A = this chain, B = another copy of it.
Amino acid sequence: MTTTTTTAATPVAPSRGALRPLGLGDIEITGGFWAQRQEVNATRTLGHIEHWLEREGWIRNFDDAAAGTLGARTGREFSDSEVYKLLEAMAWEIGRSDDADLDRRFGALVRRVAGAQEPDGYLSTAFGRPGQGARYSDLEWGHELYCYGHLFQAAVARLRTRPSADDGLVDIARRAADHVVATFGPGGRVAVCGHAEIEPALAELGRATGERRYVDQAALFVARRGTGTLGDIEYGRSYYQDDVPVRDATVLRGHAVRANYLSAGAVDVAVETDDAELLAALTTQWQNTVARRTYITGGQGSHHLDESFGDDFVLPPDRAYSETCAGVGSIMFSWRLLLAQADPRYADLIERTLYNVLATSPSHDGQSFYYTNTLHQRRPGTVPASDAAVPRASTSMRAPWFAVSCCPPNVARTLASLASYVATTDDDGLQIHQYAPSRIRTALPDGRSIAVDVETGYPHDGAIRVTAADSSDEPWTLTLRVPSWAAGATLRTPEGTRPVSAGSVSVRRRFEAGDVVELTLPVAPRISVADPRIDAVRGCAAVERGPLVLAVESVDLGEVGVSTDVADLRLDPSVPPRVVDGRVVATFGFERPAEGPWPYGADANGTGGRTAEVPLVEYHDWANRGPSTMRVWIPVA
Contact B536 A539, beta carbon cutoff 8 Å: no
Beta-carbon contact of A314 and B318 below 8 Å: yes
Among A303, A528, A596: residue with most chain B CB under 10 A: A528
Residue A558 is within 8 A (CB to CB) of chain B in the complex? no
> Is the Cβ of B316 less than 8 Å from the Cβ of A316?
yes
Task: Determine whether A190 belongs to the interface, using a CB cutoff of 8 Å to chain B.
Answer: no
A345–B531 touching, CB < 8 Å: no
Q: How far is the CB of A552 from chain B (nearest CB, A)?
A: 14
Q: Is A8 an interface residue (CB 8 A)?
A: no
What distance in Å separates the Cβ of A376 from its nearest Cβ neighbour in chain B?
7
Instruction: Give complex CA distance A204, B145 in Å.
Output: 54
Q: Are A595 and B291 in contact (CB under 8 A)?
A: yes
Contact partners of A296 in chain B: CB under 8 A: 600
CB distance from A315 to the nearest CB of B (A): 8
Q: Specify which of B317, B484, B593, B598 is in contact with A533 (CB 8 Å cutoff).
A: B593
Check if A599 is an interface residue, CB within 8 A of chain B.
yes
A523 CB to nearest B CB, Å:
15
Return chain B residues, CB-CB under 8 Å to A633: 535
Among the listed B304, B345, B376, which residue makes an inter-chain contact with A597, where contact means beta carbons less than 8 Å apart?
A: B345
Q: CB-defined interface of A134-159 with B at 8 Å, one 1/0 digit per residue?
A: 00000000000000000000000000
Please tell me if the beta carbons of A597 and B290 are within 8 angstroms of each other in the complex.
Answer: yes
Interface size class of A (residues with CB under 8 A): 35 or more
A71 interfacial by beta-carbon distance below 8 Å:
no
> A244: CB under 8 A from chain B?
no
Contact assessment for B291 and A597 in the assembled complex, using a CB-CB cutoff below 8 Å: yes
Segment at the interface with B among A77-85, A580-588, A601-609: A601-609
Chain A, range 223-280, C-beta contacts under 8 Å to B: 234-236
Whether the Cβ atoms of B600 and A531 lie closer than 8 Å is yes
Interface flag for A378 (CB, 8 Å): yes
Report the minimal beta-carbon distance from A40 to chain B, rounded to whole angstroms: 29
Q: Does A529 contact B (CB under 8 A)?
A: yes
Digit string of A563-604 for contact with B (CB within 8 Å is 1, else 0)? 000010000000000000000000000010101111111111
Contact (Cβ within 8 A) A533 B236: no
Whole-angstrom distance between the alpha carbons of A316 and B303 in the complex? Answer: 12
List of B residues within 8 angstroms of A527 by Cβ: 602
A471 contacts B by Cβ under 8 Å: no
With A532-B605, A602-B528 given, is the CB distance from A311 to B635 under 8 Å? no
Q: Mark A308-334, 1 if CB is under 8 A from B, else 0.
A: 001111101111000000000000000
Query: A609 to nearest B CB, angstroms?
Result: 14
Kindly list chain B residues whose C-beta atoms are within 8 Å of the C-beta of A529.
600-604
On chain B, the residues within 8 Å of A314 by CB distance are 318-319, 378
Does A287 lie at the interface of the complex (its beta carbon under 8 Å from any beta carbon of B)? yes
Interface flag for A179 (CB, 8 Å): no
| Further pairs besides A291-B595, A529-B601, A535-B536: 14, Cβ < 8 Å | A234-B403, A290-B597, A305-B305, A311-B378, A312-B378, A316-B316, A484-B598, A485-B601, A529-B600, A531-B600, A533-B593, A533-B599, A535-B540, A538-B540
22 A-B residue pairings within 8 Å (CB atoms): A234-B391, A234-B403, A235-B391, A236-B394, A290-B597, A291-B595, A303-B304, A312-B378, A314-B319, A314-B378, A316-B316, A316-B536, A317-B535, A318-B536, A484-B598, A528-B600, A529-B601, A529-B602, A530-B599, A531-B599, A531-B600, A533-B593
